[in-house]
Amino acid sequence: MADLERFRAEAAAWLDANAPKEIRGIELDPDKGGNWGGRRATFDPPPMKDWLDRCAAKGWTAPEWPREYGGGGLSPAEAKAVDQERKRLGLPEPLVGFGLTMIGPVLQRFGTEEQRHEHLTRIIRGEIRWCQGYSEPDSGSDLASLQTRAVRDGDEFIVNGTKVWTSYGDLSDWIFALVRTDPDVKKQEGISFLLIDMQTPGVSVRPIQLISGKSPFCETRFDDVRVPVANVIGEINGGWTVAKALLGHERTMIAELFGAQRGGSRSSGSSLGNLARHYLDAPDGAPLPDAVLRDKIAAAEMDTRAFHLTVQRARDAAKAGHQPGPESSLFKVYATEINKRRCELAVEIAGPQGLGWQGPGFDAEELARTRAWLRSRGNSIEGGTSEIQLNIIAKHVLGLPD
């Protein structure tokens, strides 16, 4: 314990000495959600680049990853101390993204030594932004029915097909994609997990506009794209195992994202109680006049807090290198349901001001709240729908029959 406290003090001193003053206490643009890195990364404010580079050099963009790939080599307890001290000092995360949360952990488990050295180091330095090529126009929940074909030609595959709902495909450098390498066997047994550089000729990306007015999704097409066979992760035709492992990490990431979030909505930054005081013009310290609303807010805040602590406890109990299993579906369902509930409640509290779309009658926070509410509808779809999560929980957690 004494060692951990000493480490914590040293970590705080390092963070304090190395964080540029311009990034202290800044509110990051909620739409961007932090620094995603990549070849086309923009840094707002510009000293975020120094912050990224300094943390990357120390391995603290990926504090728990092995040192041999450039990670921090910290224990889970030490990594948590770094995270807590960073937050206490009001410093943003140096790097976020699917490299750190999804493909990185999978490469550590299934990648060859060469693949790990090539990709993990670039993820840690924030040089490559990754996106996910799983869903197709006719394959969502029934993911194993995917039709994107990869036909072998010597040391390469020739890939043809279309992926859809590729989040941030237009901003990403590499895609981890599921492709069909054997069409003549049981559908799960003919899939490979392939890494594709999106600058390869034949890859094209088209943004898709959403109800929220934003366009974070893309359709990604592959037309005779040549990809080295060496880019397969795991066994050829063994991609389904790798794909499921990655989904465990994705669902855990979603749970941690919403589990850590205690504001009135992703974009409001204030608690639901503060929001209600503002719109009901209620004085500080006195109970809110509307008892029904008061009850709803108290229940939502308590459920959020309890969930946050549960996620923390699960994280603390996990050993280094822990691989999330089907229980990640439990966390994903609850996290996304509670986020939807909070966003609904925030809009209800704001009344007519909660339904602004554009125009002078609404301030920026109100417009962001409406869009966050609409965006929250997608939470129970992305990473696998809630219905699919409930099926997984029934079968693989509770052991119920089909």
Ligand X SMILES: Cc1cc2nc3c(=O)[nH]c(=O)nc-3n(C[C@H](O)[C@H](O)[C@H](O)COP(=O)(O)OP(=O)(O)OC[C@H]3O[C@@H](n4cnc5c(N)ncnc54)[C@H](O)[C@@H]3O)c2cc1C
Binding site for ligand X (CB under 6 A): 131-135, 140-141, 165-167, 378, 381-382, 384-385, 387-388, 391
Rounded distance, CA 277 to CA 255, Å? 29
Rounded distance, CA 272 to CA 305, Å? 13
Of the residues 64, 85, 136, 250, which is catalytic? 250
The strand pair at 130-133 and 174-180 is best described as: parallel
In the complex, the smallest distance separating the C-beta of residue 284 from ligand X, rounded to whole angstroms, is 37
Rounded distance, CA 329 to CA 318, Å? 16
Nearer to ligand X, 275 or 388 (CB): 388
Rounded distance, CA 59 to CA 219, Å? 34
In the complex, the smallest distance separating the C-beta of residue 393 from ligand X, rounded to whole angstroms, is 12
Both structure tokens of 229: 């066979």
Amino acid at 169: G
CB atoms within 10 A of CB 141: 12
Close Cβ partners of 9 (under 8 Å, ≥ 6 residues apart): none
- CB burial readout 376-401, b (16+ within 10 A) else e: bebbbebbbebebbebbbeeeeeeee
DSSP string, 57-106: HHTTTSTTS-GGGT-----HHHHHHHHHHHHHTT---S--SHIIIIIHHH
Residues 109 and 20: beta-carbon distance below 8 Å: no
Rounded distance, CA 27 to CA 90, Å? 10
In the complex, the smallest distance separating the C-beta of residue 192 from ligand X, rounded to whole angstroms, is 16
In the complex, the smallest distance separating the C-beta of residue 164 from ligand X, rounded to whole angstroms, is 7
Nearer to ligand X, 98 or 157 (CB): 98
250 catalytic residue (yes or no): yes
In a 3-state reduction of DSSP, which class is residue 225?
A: strand
In the complex, the smallest distance separating the C-beta of residue 165 from ligand X, rounded to whole angstroms, is 3
- CB burial readout 39-78, b (16+ within 10 A) else e: eebeeeeebbbbbbebbbebbbbbbbbbeebbbbbbebeb
Both structure tokens of 150: 């990869």
In the complex, the smallest distance separating the C-beta of residue 144 from ligand X, rounded to whole angstroms, is 12
Nearer to ligand X, 277 or 340 (CB): 340
In the complex, the smallest distance separating the C-beta of residue 43 from ligand X, rounded to whole angstroms, is 23
Query: In sequence order, what are the beta bridge partners of 191?
Result: 180, 238
In the complex, the smallest distance separating the C-beta of residue 211 from ligand X, rounded to whole angstroms, is 11
Question: CA dist 25 to 48, 57, 91, 111, Å?
Answer: 12, 22, 6, 38
Output the residue with the shortest Cβ distance to ligand X.
140
Backbone dihedral region of 305: left (phi > 0), alpha (psi from -120 to 50 degrees) or beta?
Answer: alpha
Rounded distance, CA 379 to CA 372, Å? 11
Nearer to ligand X, 217 or 362 (CB): 217
Nearer to ligand X, 121 or 167 (CB): 167
Q: What positions carry a catalytic annotation?
A: 250
